Amino acid sequence: MPRYSSGVPFEPSDPWWRIGGVDYDLTPFLALHPGGQHVLLLARDRFGDATLAFEAHHLDWRRARRVLEQYRVRTPGNLAADLGLSAEDGFFCVLRDRLRAALRAAGAPVRGGPTRVCLGLFWASLAAWACLAVATLATGRAASAAAMGAVAAILGSFGHNFVHQPAYYAHAHALDLVGLSANVWRREHVLQHHMFTNTPEDNHFKGTEPFLVVDPRARRGLLQRSVFPALAPLLLCFGIPVNHAVRLADVARGRESLTIGDWLPALEAALFVGCRGGAAGLALWALARAVTGTLYFTIALANHNGSASAAAMARGGAVAGADEWAVHQIEACGDWDVRVRFPRNLVYLTLNLHTVHHLFPSIDVSHHHIAQAVLEQTCADRGVPYHPHQSFSQLYGEAMTTFRGEPRS
């Protein structure tokens, strides 16, 4: 039986980890892995080939490969079908070497962990969200609920940042507070969306169907071409509750198991109903969720549905190894206002520098400006096209063209 993640079937894996066409038995290393054993088991059991996850999450690739070699089991005969590691002088290895050097020169942690400013703003956002929640419960004002939802989007962006960093995974439970599951994101976002971006294995690929169709090869009905794209902000109001409902349906099918975070949306809704009454309380809770969903998912969908992203999807997005994967990430991600760095880019939920986030997912947002400079220079040196957008409105317009299935000029 295939293993499912967001409804996408993945073939069952061998008892070993397939990385770069070689099988490794990392069982003795599970307790030693700096990122914890859970993510290692997911990379093997849920997604099969772990090459891309290994490459994307090890900036010091030389050291990681030396450690990995100790656990080699065998080299299968069907290497042509396997994903390859980046060549030592390949694009992705050079990119990682340059970023490590740039982080060291800037006095940043070589692992790319958060700065004190980043952590301070995270706690400030959490406090602001809690205060607005109390204000909404006390006053019943819609304005307070809307503000709570807006701050929740910022809090969610911090959760998104920390879900990629094992040392700060506890902070990622901010996602649970705003109606998303940190546990699910660690699997579906970190190991699925990031590794299989804009391909059928990406959990976002069909996540908005039948309303918003992102696959440029798919046929669209009249409503999908002409009506639903215009209603995208309204549709995304329901993104968080629908996401949660789909997860509960998977629990009922036996594909998922409940976590503490899964109970929080119901507990929050019950708290609002208890404090403000049935209809009024539920309306305030739904308003906060709607604002969060519209803000976050509008930007996130635009990130991967611009013209270059659609072209990558049309080609199928298949890659032969880590170097091709890195180039594919540059094509699949849409950036804008790339000189706006953290913390000012919290207004964009830090998603304006999205390509470097996909290439270096464990690097904190407070260092993305360093990675951005490295990316631009390396792309120029290697002749890899990289064309960020001037504004979000430009990228969003391209995304609307993708949703409507219109031909590109």
CA dist., res. 35 & res. 50, Å (int): 14
At 10, which CATH number?
Answer: 3.10.120.10
Bridge partners for 3 per DSSP: 10
Residues 80 and 92 in one domain: no
Residues 284 and 392 in one domain: yes
Token code pair at residue 339: 């000189």
pLDDT at position 1: 42
Last residue of a domain, one of 85, 106, 139: 85
Residues 101 and 70 in one domain: no
CA dist., res. 351 & res. 334, Å (int): 9
Residues 44 and 136 in one domain: no
Residues 40 and 153 in one domain: no
Residues 149 and 95 in one domain: yes
Cis peptide leading into residue 233 (ω within 30°): no
Domain that holds residue 22: 3-85
Query: Distance from first CA to last CA of the chain, Å, rounded?
Result: 44
Last residue of a domain, one of 50, 85, 120: 85
Task: For residue 367, give the nearest of 108, 92, 55, 93 by alpha carbon.
Answer: 108
The alpha carbon torsion through 227, 233, 237, 243 (nearest 10 deg) reads: 80
Mean pLDDT by 10 residues, the chain (409 residues): 58 79 94 91 84 96 97 73 89 98 95 97 98 98 98 98 96 94 90 91 86 91 96 95 84 79 88 95 97 97 94 81 96 98 98 99 98 99 97 97 83
pLDDT tens-digit series, residues 278-297: 999 999 999 999 999 999 99
pLDDT at position 315: 81
pLDDT at position 59: 97
pLDDT tens-digit series, residues 295-347: 999 999 999 999 999 988 888 777 889 999 999 999 999 999 999 999 999 99
Q: Model pTM greater than 0.75? A: yes
Residues 81 and 207 in one domain: no
Last residue of a domain, one of 36, 62, 85: 85
pLDDT at position 227: 97
pLDDT at position 38: 87
Residues 225 and 334 in one domain: yes
CA dist., res. 342 & res. 365, Å (int): 7
Q: How far is CA 145 from CA 234, 239, 287, 291, in A?
A: 17, 17, 6, 9
pLDDT at position 387: 97
The three-state (H, E, C) secondary structure of the chain, written as one string: CCEEECCEEECCCCCCEEECCEEECCHHHHHHCCCCHHHHHHHHHCCCECHHHHHHCCCCHHHHHHHHHCCEEECCCCHHHCCECCCCCCHHHHHHHHHHHHHHHCCCCCCCCCCHHHHHHHHHHHHHHHHHHHHHHHHCCHHHHHHHHHHHHHHHHHHHHHCCCHHHHHHHHHHHHCCCCHHHHHHHHHHHHCCCCCCCCCCCCCCCCCCCCCCCCCCCCHHHHHHCCCCHHHHHCCHHHHHHHHHHHHHHCCCCCCCHHHHHHHHHHHHHHHHHCHHHHHHHHHHHHHHHHHHHHHHHHHHCCCHHHHHHHHCCCCCCEHHHHHHHHHHHCCCECCCCCCCHHHHHCCHHHHHHHHHCCCCCHHHHHHHHHHHHHHHHHHCCCCCCECCHHHHHHHHHHHHHCCCCC
Assess contact for 71 and 29: CB atoms under 8 A. Answer: yes
CA dist., res. 178 & res. 281, Å (int): 17
Instruction: For helices 307-314 and 392-404, give the axis angle rounded to 10 degrees.
Output: 40
Task: For residue 197, give the nearest of 70, 308, 44, 69 by alpha carbon.
Answer: 308
Task: For residue 83, give the nearest of 264, 325, 320, 259 by alpha carbon.
Answer: 320
Residues 221 and 324 in one domain: yes
Residues 197 and 52 in one domain: no
Residues 71 and 190 in one domain: no
Instruction: For helices 260-276 and 278-303, give the axis angle rounded to 10 degrees.
Output: 140
Q: How many domains does the chain have?
A: 2
Residues 172 and 211 in one domain: yes
CA dist., res. 234 & res. 291, Å (int): 10
